[in-house]
Chains A and B, each alone.
Chain A
């Protein structure tokens, strides 16, 4: 009871610095949550792109039975999940949509000029090198004129996304380092400002644990406040920013950014835990560095 009262008294006495610490901590943890979510989403996009990637295969014959024959052979290749024949009308429509400037010219093409093609999807758990091997096998099939792999373009896009995502995680850890630094500074100041009272308590036989316990309670209360501030801020962000964000990224073909309620609870809980761990570490470190008699 004494420790609890001492903690509450401490917060009241240092109300301004406590508030500043909560605001500062919340800002850092909020940034961490946003970066973490974004990095996670980017890496998920990376995985999705890999999993759903397909290749186009052009067949050297225009005969339906030949195309069917190639399809049968393709389905037997290891690493292929599914394949479908692309009709010439669909191909023409695709060209018109993606190259609107050439729409008139494309419309003028006769259907007999357009090559017959198939779209092949890989298995979801396929490895990068396995996919390369599968592409080589597809290229060697009789009746296959050309495999439009686009590997180089895709590989560079995937690498960029992966580095962005990993960079986000690095930033996340760096921010936590900053947060720890702020916390250590806070407890160092606390130690100097309350040195006399701590010496006094020590002179009554208080152990180091007894001295640090009110700080631990104080850190707990502040961590709860930090978690709530982060939660409210994220909820606000979800309400006002998510739609705008998805509108933008939706136009460039990314999956929508989903932010579930369970994720929100998880982030609030994680913020509290991370904040509390920082308080524990910092208060313990401050006390260890202080030479107590």
Chain B
């Protein structure tokens, strides 16, 4: 899914300019890191891309559809985007299965236009597959999320973002609570999915990951932008 931002400015209050005149064009199947210190605007940028926030000025386009507040088309685009939130946003009273499989019901699966039967065996199979790909045991399916460790919860959030095979994956600090091995399990999976055609945007302040993965990086610093373009997939 192609992602374009044109002259995007985002301010929450009159004196708090988070992003200023940002231009970004990420081609379909591209991979982009968004780096920067805390408060640099990484999360705000990702929220603009997934349509959770809207720009003060400028336009955001995903998959050729301009994201407009309240528009039904924005809602349709969300079904094609997998999001890993920095704070996980899990339903802690519910089971792992309910958390991971829920996008299948509200959204879609892969290229299919119809939602899957939430209680059907296909949903269970897909949940097991995605958990295994992230190094999680399928025995956790019936466990309540609140009973899991921070690292497990983070991987549950990633599994939920990936289960419906989205066209665009937007991950905000997806490895913040993971140990070294699990961090690389996740990053390897992201790269594998990117090779298969998924557009991936990862916000991180882990320089080690950015250095080793070697993908284009957008450095945000107090609203200004510096680009470290490595493979030409990203045009600014």
A-to-B contact residues, CB < 8 Å: 1-2, 5, 9, 13, 196-197, 199-207, 210, 293
Per the bound structure, the CA–CA distance linking A13 and B91 in Å amounts to 13
Interface string of B104-128 (1 = CB under 8 A from A): 0111000000000111000000000
B103's partner among A1, A204, A210, A293 (CB-CB below 8 A) is A204
B89's partner among A196, A206, A293 (CB-CB below 8 A) is A196
Q: Which of A196, A201, A204, A206 has the most CB of B within 10 A?
A: A204
Output the nearest chain B residue to A293 by Cβ-Cβ distance: B52
Instruction: Report A-chain residues with C-beta under 8 Å of the C-beta of B94.
Output: 9
CB contact under 8 A between A2 and B69, given known A201-B106, A204-B103, A293-B52: no
Interface contact B69-A203, CB-CB below 8 Å: no
- B-side binding surface: helix, strand, loop or mixed? loop
B-to-A contact residues, CB < 8 Å: 50-54, 69, 75-76, 78-79, 83, 89, 91, 93-94, 102-103, 105-107, 117-119
Interface contact B118-A205, CB-CB below 8 Å: no
Per the bound structure, the CA–CA distance linking A13 and B94 in Å amounts to 11
Output the nearest chain B residue to A208 by Cβ-Cβ distance: B75
Interface contact B107-A204, CB-CB below 8 Å: yes
Q: Return B136 CB to nearest CB of chain A, in Å.
A: 20
A210's partner among B54, B76, B91, B106 (CB-CB below 8 A) is B106
Interface contact B91-A200, CB-CB below 8 Å: yes
Q: Return A38 CB to nearest CB of chain B, in Å.
A: 46
Per the bound structure, the CA–CA distance linking A278 and B199 in Å amounts to 46
Per the bound structure, the CA–CA distance linking A131 and B100 in Å amounts to 78
Interface contact A1-B91, CB-CB below 8 Å: no
Further contacts, 7 of them, CB under 8 A, given A2-B105, A205-B76: A5-B119, A13-B93, A200-B89, A205-B75, A205-B107, A207-B75, A293-B53
22 contacts between A and B (CB under 8 A): A2-B102, A2-B105, A2-B118, A2-B119, A5-B119, A196-B89, A197-B91, A200-B89, A202-B78, A203-B50, A203-B83, A204-B79, A204-B102, A204-B103, A204-B106, A204-B107, A205-B107, A207-B75, A210-B106, A293-B51, A293-B52, A293-B69
Interface contact B106-A206, CB-CB below 8 Å: yes
Q: Return B76 CB to nearest CB of chain A, in Å.
A: 7
Instruction: Report B-chain residues with C-beta under 8 Å of the C-beta of A201.
Output: 102, 106
Output the nearest chain A residue to B47 by Cβ-Cβ distance: A293
Q: Return A279 CB to nearest CB of chain B, in Å.
A: 22
Per the bound structure, the CA–CA distance linking A202 and B103 in Å amounts to 10
Instruction: Report A-chain residues with C-beta under 8 Å of the C-beta of B91.
Output: 197, 200
Per the bound structure, the CA–CA distance linking A187 and B40 in Å amounts to 37
Instruction: Report B-chain residues with C-beta under 8 Å of the C-beta of A200.
Output: 89, 91
Interface contact B52-A205, CB-CB below 8 Å: no
Output the nearest chain A residue to B102 by Cβ-Cβ distance: A204
B79's partner among A9, A196, A205 (CB-CB below 8 A) is A205
Per the bound structure, the CA–CA distance linking A9 and B98 in Å amounts to 12
Q: Return B149 CB to nearest CB of chain A, in Å.
A: 21
Q: Return A234 CB to nearest CB of chain B, in Å.
A: 38
Output the nearest chain B residue to A292 by Cβ-Cβ distance: B70
Instruction: Report A-chain residues with C-beta under 8 Å of the C-beta of B119.
Output: 1-2, 5
Output the nearest chain A residue to B120 by Cβ-Cβ distance: A1
